[in-house]
């Protein structure tokens, strides 16, 4: 099968490409390298079934493919807030371009949406039926509302033009190849602990998150793409931890002497985040299998190796 992965040189995209290439597919990676890295896909560059195209998806592109995994969009607050207008363009124009391509060539299209569509939820855990509590004018809105309109576009192309779509709502994901400077909580704590500087907890650390290891997420994406259900489907690990618990886990694992410091909570930071994965279990026979302790160990090893070699 001939498959496009937009954002394929990024953290999740490159792990997905590893799986697709290992399964014998022809894979085209589209990436403008805003947050992606060629290092993540280096091993495939000379493979006859792999093609790398440096391309910004806010511009149209013509290709012949069977499936499109649409992952392109900066997904961490540091990167999506750096250029919020570009983030919106990527979610809106980029998604329209990829849906237009899917319509022309009759490809199946999977949108990597996000748990951020639920905003700061007042329903817990979050089922797919919940419509969210999102601030449309806040500093996170470029990403939150961008992904909400990307979902709208996907379903409108499906209803109006018969495009075969799949929508995944991805919850916090971690693992090797995360960027050191992406501002996400797992990478922040690991890098700070490895460098012997205090681990920064925002607020009192009582806000919760659920952490899914990247290989589990990739398995869910592939099952969704090749299954019969449109979605949206939550993909994430339902085990819930406070941010302070995560900081202490990483502190004990990496550097027990590291301090923990508390700073003011950023605007619109969600107080709770936990997926209801009933649909994923029922429709995809999917649930995460990698426990947090094991996943963190693999992630710490990857960061340690990169920091030591830099």
Which residue numbers are catalytic? 143
Give the separation between CA 260 and CA 254, rounded to whole angstroms: 13
By the 8 A CB rule, do 54 and 31 touch?
yes
Give the separation between CA 280 and CA 295, rounded to whole angstroms: 21
Give the separation between CA 19 and CA 153, rounded to whole angstroms: 28
Rg (CA), the chain: 19
Give me the phi and psi of 202, to 5 degrees please.
Answer: -90, 140
Nearest to 67 by CA among 16, 113, 115, 117: 16
For the residues of 71-111, what is the DSSP string, one character each?
Answer: --S--SHHHHHHSHHHHHHIIIIIHHHHHHHHHHHT-EEEE
Q: Which letter, b or e, does each residue of 157-167 get, where b requires 16 or more Cβ atoms within 10 Å of its Cβ? A: bbeeeebebbb
Residue ranges of the alpha helices (H) in the chain?
11-22, 77-82, 84-89, 95-105, 141-161, 185-194, 214-226, 243-254, 278-284, 292-309
CA atoms within 13 A on the CB side of 154: 26
């Amino acid at each position: 099968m001939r498959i496009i992965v937009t954002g394929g040189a990024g953290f999740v995209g490159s792990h997905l490409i590893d799986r697709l290439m290992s399964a014998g597919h022809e894979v085209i990676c589209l990436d403008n390298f805003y947050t992606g890295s060629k290092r993540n896909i280096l091993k495939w560059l000379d493979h006859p079934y792999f093609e790398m195209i440096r391309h910004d998806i806010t511009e149209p592109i013509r290709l012949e493919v069977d499936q499109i995994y649409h992952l392109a969009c900066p997904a961490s607050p540091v990167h999506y807030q750096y250029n919020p207008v570009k983030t919106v363009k990527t979610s809106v124009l980029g998604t329209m371009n990829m849906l237009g391509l899917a319509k022309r060539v009759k490809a199946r299209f999977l949108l990597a949406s996000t748990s951020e569509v639920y905003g700061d939820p007042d329903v817990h855990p979050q089922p797919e039926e919940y419509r969210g509590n999102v601030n449309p004018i806040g500093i996170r809105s470029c990403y939150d509302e961008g992904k909400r309109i990307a979902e709208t576009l996907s379903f409108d192309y499906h209803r109006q033009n018969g495009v075969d779509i799949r929508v995944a709502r991805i919850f916090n994901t971690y693992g090797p190849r995360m960027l050191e400077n992406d501002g996400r909580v797992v990478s922040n704590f690991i890098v700070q602990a490895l460098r012997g500087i205090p681990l920064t907890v925002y607020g009192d650390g009582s806000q919760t998150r659920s952490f899914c290891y990247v290989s589990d997420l990739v398995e869910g994406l592939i099952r969704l793409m090749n299954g019969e259900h449109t979605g949206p489907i939550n993909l994430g690990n339902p085990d819930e931890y406070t941010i302070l618990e995560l900081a202490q886990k990483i502190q004990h694992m990496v550097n027990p002497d590291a301090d923990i410091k508390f700073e003011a909570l950023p605007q619109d930071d969600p107080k709770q985040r936990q997926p209801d994965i009933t649909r994923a279990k029922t429709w995809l026979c999917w649930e995460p299998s990698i426990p947090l302790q094991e996943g963190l160990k693999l992630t710490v090893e990857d960061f340690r190796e990169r920091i030591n070699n830099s």
